[in-house]
């Protein structure tokens, strides 16, 4: 191999022929006896499990690697989906030097140092460089801009890793020069396969020990890891090393105890936050109380602010239910106040109750649509004059000018309704509110139709006078 690289991550120590030292922001090489999860990083593409759609035989990326034409890439996926391992493998397969920077503690100076080293290695030995940037979404605009001209010139191959949607966090210029690949959480089947590799590998794993473990126990552990093979391997290591007896029988109870409780994937400022609240809102709108309850539980279990969820439900009561069920809004406000009074965990039941109510209520966005249309007309038409008949007339001058002169008091009529003009002349006859044939809005339709007939009759009477 032309370029040096380590198996488990990080760039290699500079050799005597290296013209410069490691970039200050780069990760140091791993210490001796690294954790099992590091030792079990795949050594070949065939050993890289669970991402066949990205790097499996016949894929575009696999063909590019096999021909040595590796493009700049961004790997987007959850923690432990294999982003770093795949970057290492691609560097190895293309016989490139591997340098890694962390966006958490690296700055523009570190990028410039890595760029300088990449140029020196290319000029002295013809060795290409793969610059791997972990958590690239944390780089600011100036840091990303510092990478751009060198990516364009091909001085190095950039591989960025991110758990956040790169279209939100990576600027469009840099993003357009990289191919984005989405890595999925590993399935239970693949995590079981990874665990078995660790149990049987003599050099990196526990193949030299006599360990018996039931397949069901492995499946239970894999399932509890929610797509994270690193958690599975860390749990296996803890379980094995806490029981030095040989032979060792690993039970489901031992493995799950080693795992303890895995935190749910959630970032209150990231994409998953918006994914979950979107799923919750759409489940409410889709009248699926079971799904709404599940997404509510997911958010609360992951540490979401319950008052944020409560505010969204108050909004939902107006936006998606409106007058189809006029009780939805006051009940949503009552649930919000109940949580503010009781807090967690007692108050969460009120949020669950109102979520079920909102999901089960008749739906109408007529109020939302009417208000949106009225706002558009107000902006487009500008300050249209108020009809004289409905203007306020607190002074004699205003009365002399005709303010409120023809106004009729609706309560003086038998029906409590007297047809009059309330909209400005320029938009008279415009209808914003179109209630639906659902829930209480059925009654509203009947009332509006009745008042419309009275208005038409009144208009005909005026025409015949």
CA gap 184, 179 in Å, rounded: 16
278-285: long-range contacts at Cβ-Cβ below 8 A with a sequence spacing of 24 or more?
280/309, 280/312, 280/355, 281/312, 281/316, 283/359, 284/313, 284/316, 284/320, 284/355, 284/358, 284/359, 285/316, 285/320, 285/363
Of residues 149, 156, 190, 148, the one with CA closest to residue 172: 148
Cis peptide before 112 (omega within 30 of 0): no
434/142 Cα distance (integer angstroms): 50
All domains of the chain in start order, with CATH: 36-182 (3.40.50.300), 188-259 (1.10.8.60), 271-360 (1.20.272.10), 383-464 (1.10.3710)
Phi-psi region of 191 (alpha: psi -120 to 50; beta: other; left: phi over 0): alpha
Q: Are 223 and 235 in contact (CB under 8 A)?
A: no
pLDDT at 411 over 70: yes
The secondary element (H helix, E strand) that includes residue 359 is helix 348-360
Instruction: Classify residue 34 by burial, with Cβ atoms within 10 Å: 0-12, 13-18, 19+.
Output: middle
Q: What percent of the chain has pLDDT over 70?
A: 90
- What average pLDDT does the segment 395-410 reach? 86
pLDDT of residue 31: 46
- Residue 372: pLDDT band (50, 70, 90) is very high
Task: In whole angstroms, give the CA distance from residue 280 to residue 275.
Answer: 9
More confident residue, 399 or 90: 90
**Is 176 a residue whose pLDDT tops 70?**
yes
Q: What pLDDT score was predicted for residue 215?
A: 78
Cα 223 to the chain's mean position, in Å?
Answer: 22
At residue 17, the pLDDT reads 36
Residue range 271-283: average pLDDT? Answer: 87
Predicted confidence at residue 6, as pLDDT, reads 30
Residue 261 confidence (pLDDT) above 60: no
Whether residue 395 is predicted with pLDDT greater than 60 in this model: the reply is yes
Average pLDDT, the chain: 85
Residue 192 has pLDDT above 70, yes or no: yes
The answer to pTM > 0.85 is no
CA 230, CA 205: separation in Å to the nearest integer?
Answer: 14
- Quick: pLDDT tens for 135-163: 898 888 888 888 999 998 889 999 999 98
How far is the first Cα of the chain from the last one, in angstroms, to the nearest whole number?
102
Q: What is the pLDDT of residues 337-354, one digit of tens each?
A: 999 999 888 999 999 999
């Amino acid at each position: 191999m032309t370029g040096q690289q380590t198996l488990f991550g990080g760039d290699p120590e500079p050799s005597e022929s290296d013209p410069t030292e490691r970039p200050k922001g780069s990760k140091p090489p791993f210490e001796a006896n690294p954790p099992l999860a590091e030792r079990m990083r795949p050594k070949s593409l065939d050993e890289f499990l669970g991402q066949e759609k990205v790097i499996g035989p016949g894929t575009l990326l696999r063909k590019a690697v096999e021909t040595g034409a590796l493009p700049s890439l961004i790997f987007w996926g959850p923690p432990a989906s294999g982003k770093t391992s795949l970057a290492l493998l691609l560097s190895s397969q293309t016989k490139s030097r591997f340098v890694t920077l962390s966006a958490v503690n690296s700055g523009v100076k570190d990028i410039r140092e890595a760029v300088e080293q990449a140029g020196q290695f290319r000029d002295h030995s013809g060795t290409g460089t793969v610059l791997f940037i972990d958590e690239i979404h944390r780089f600011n605009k100036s840091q990303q801009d510092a990478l751009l001209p060198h990516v364009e010139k091909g001085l190095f191959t950039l591989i960025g890793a991110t758990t956040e949607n790169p279209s939100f966090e990576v600027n469009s210029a840099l993003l357009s020069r990289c191919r984005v690949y989405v890595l999925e959480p590993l399935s239970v089947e693949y995590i079981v396969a990874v665990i078995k590799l660790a149990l049987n590998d003599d050099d990196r794993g526990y193949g030299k020990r006599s360990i018996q473990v039931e397949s069901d126990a492995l499946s239970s552990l894999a399932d509890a890891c929610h797509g994270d093979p690193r958690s599975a391997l860390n749990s296996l290591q803890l379980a094995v090393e806490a029981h030095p007896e040989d032979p060792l029988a690993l039970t489901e109870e031992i493995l799950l105890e080693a795992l303890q409780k895995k935190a749910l994937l959630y970032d209150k400022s990231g994409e998953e936050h918006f994914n979950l609240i979107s799923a919750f809102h759409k489940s409410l709108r889709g009248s699926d109380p079971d799904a709404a309850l599940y997404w509510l539980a997911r958010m609360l279990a992951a540490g979401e602010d319950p008052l944020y969820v409560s505010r969204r439900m108050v909004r939902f009561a107006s936006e998606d239910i409106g007058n189809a069920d006029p009780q939805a809004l006051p009940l949503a406000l009552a649930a919000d106040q109940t949580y503010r009074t009781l807090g967690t965990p007692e108050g969460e039941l009120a949020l669950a109750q109102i979520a079920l109510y909102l999901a089960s209520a008749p739906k109408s966005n007529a109020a939302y649509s009417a208000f949106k249309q009225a706002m558009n007309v107000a902006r487009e038409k500008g300050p249209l004059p108020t009809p004289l008949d409905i203007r306020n007339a607190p002074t004699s001058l205003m009365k002399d000018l005709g303010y409120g002169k023809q106004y009729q008091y609706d309560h003086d009529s038998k029906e409590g309704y007297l047809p009059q003009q309330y909209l400005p002349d320029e938009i008279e006859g415009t209808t914003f509110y179109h209630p639906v044939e659902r829930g209480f809005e059925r009654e509203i339709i009947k009332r509006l139709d009745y008042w419309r007939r009275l208005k038409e009759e009144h208009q005909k009477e005026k025409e015949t006078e």
